[in-house]
A = this chain, B = another copy of it.
Amino acid sequence: MTTSFHPPQRTLMGPGPSDVNPRILEAMSRPTIGHLDPKFIEMMDEVKALLQYAFQTKNELTMPVSAPGSAGMETCFVNLVEPGDKVIVCQNGVFGGRMKENVERCGGEAIMVEDEWGKVVDPAKLEAALKANPDASVVAFVHAETSTGAQSDAKTLVEIAHKYDCLAIVDAVTSLGGTPIKVDEWGIDAIYSGTQKCLSCTPGLSPVSFSPAALEKIKNRKTKAQSWFLDLNLVMGYWGGEGKRAYHHTAPINALYGLHESLVILKEEGLENAWARHAKHHLALRAGLEAMGLKFVVDEKDRLPQLNAVYIPDGVDDVAVRSALLNDYSLEIGAGLGVMAGKVWRIGLMGHACNKRNVLLCLGALGDVLSRMNVSVDKESAVGAAQKILAA
């Protein structure tokens, strides 16, 4: 007979899910109420307002999609791309490739602007593509490429998109709550994120926000969105906030309790403080990793503090190291993805997981495991280098 599942207690320093704040786990276990209950509607309004804060936007259409980040991405594309639309997709990692898939499945044409994995999106290449394709209507790019840890200059890329009358779709799955995102100031038209990264929540929801210009396009589509579940013209009836809420689908009540709590925690800390915390702990982790002789994939100025991709030293067995970390220290770090598989580790410092205990645990455990595999690393100086920065 199968019995209840009792997961081990891990420390999650991969690309997400990251450690979940216990307050959020507790919130998720509160009593379920109806998805049209007046008390629940009040909570939805709070979630909207808190997400507006997190995204730094006044966009009315700001809400969580009832499914993981991939569905948030799909929500942006199925609502903003119609058959025949030309979309400039910037790719510098796995997730730009997924955007291309989305465009094509919407019947659109994807014009690819490609940069090397680990590099940021080159604004000059985007501008060249827009010049060459004056009929493009949408530009899409990844702000924080989770597969490499590179952070592109969203503000500049959106400016260029607008210069050529395109709407800008931005992937902020890994950036929201970890590094600055200013939806209104930067003019982002559509943005999606995930709950399991710097919001320290469980996976399963995807916060999104749409500008008035995006909303205008959605309301005036010539064709219906190809997804009923993700059709914002329908979802708005439930999340819209204009008077009566109409049933569309049954909202994931308890997951939303969790998101609400995570956003309350973010507001308590303050966005700027959260960004500063991620920056500081990244510096400490970096000092330690570099003292161990590990090299970063991304140039220093373009690095996401919350996702540290480092090359696996020559001759070191990727799987053996990660298994030892998991089995001996209950510590999860991330494998490489796509062309980076087997070549890099991705060490997350996201949300609740971004703290000095985790920095030291990671450096200590990785140092021990590598030493045992006869890799020459100076464990003490790695931990010392990190501690010096943490103490500052």
Instruction: State the A residues within 8 Å of B (CB).
Output: 1-10, 12, 14, 16-17, 19-20, 23, 25-35, 37-40, 43, 46, 49-50, 66-71, 73-74, 98, 101-102, 104-106, 194, 196, 202-204, 224-229, 247-255, 257-258, 260-261, 263-264, 267-268, 326, 332, 337
Contact = CB atoms under 8 A, between A and B. Distances in A.
B252 A46 contact: no
Given A12-B34, A226-B227, 13 more contacts: A2-B263, A5-B261, A14-B34, A19-B32, A25-B32, A37-B326, A67-B68, A67-B71, A70-B229, A74-B227, A105-B225, A194-B250, A203-B250
B227 A227 contact: yes
A299 to B, nearest CB: 26
A38 B23 CA distance: 26
Nearest to A30: B7
Contacts of A30: 5-7, 25
Contacts of A43: 5, 7
Contacts of A337: 247
Contacts of A203: 32, 35, 250-253
B102 A67 contact: no
Contacts of A71: 66-67, 71, 229, 249
12 contacts: A4-B261, A12-B34, A25-B30, A37-B332, A66-B67, A69-B250, A70-B228, A74-B227, A102-B228, A105-B225, A106-B226, A226-B227
Given A33-B7, A33-B10, A255-B255, A250 B40 contact: no
B67 A254 contact: no
B229 A39 contact: no
Contacts of A326: 37-38
Given A4-B264, A25-B31, A252 B204 contact: yes
A98 to B, nearest CB: 7
Instruction: Determine how many copies of this chain the complex contains.
Output: 2
Given A9-B31, A98-B228, A252 B68 contact: yes
Contact of A27 (B5, B32, B67, B69): B5
Contacts of A9: 31
Nearest to A257: B5
Contacts of A258: 254
Interface core residue of A50, A98, A257 (most chain B CB under 10 Å):
A257
Nearest to A254: B202
A29 B31 contact: no
Contacts of A66: 67-68, 71, 204
Nearest to A71: B229
Contact of A5 (B34, B46, B249): B46
A34 B332 contact: yes
A17 B34 contact: yes
Nearest to A203: B250
Nearest to A99: B228
Contacts of A268: 1
Contact of A17 (B25, B35, B202, B224): B35
A12 B32 contact: yes
B229 A2 contact: no
Interface core residue of A35, A202, A253 (most chain B CB under 10 Å):
A202
A29 B28 CA distance: 6
Contact of A39 (B7, B26, B68): B7
A377 B228 CA distance: 43
A204 to B, nearest CB: 3
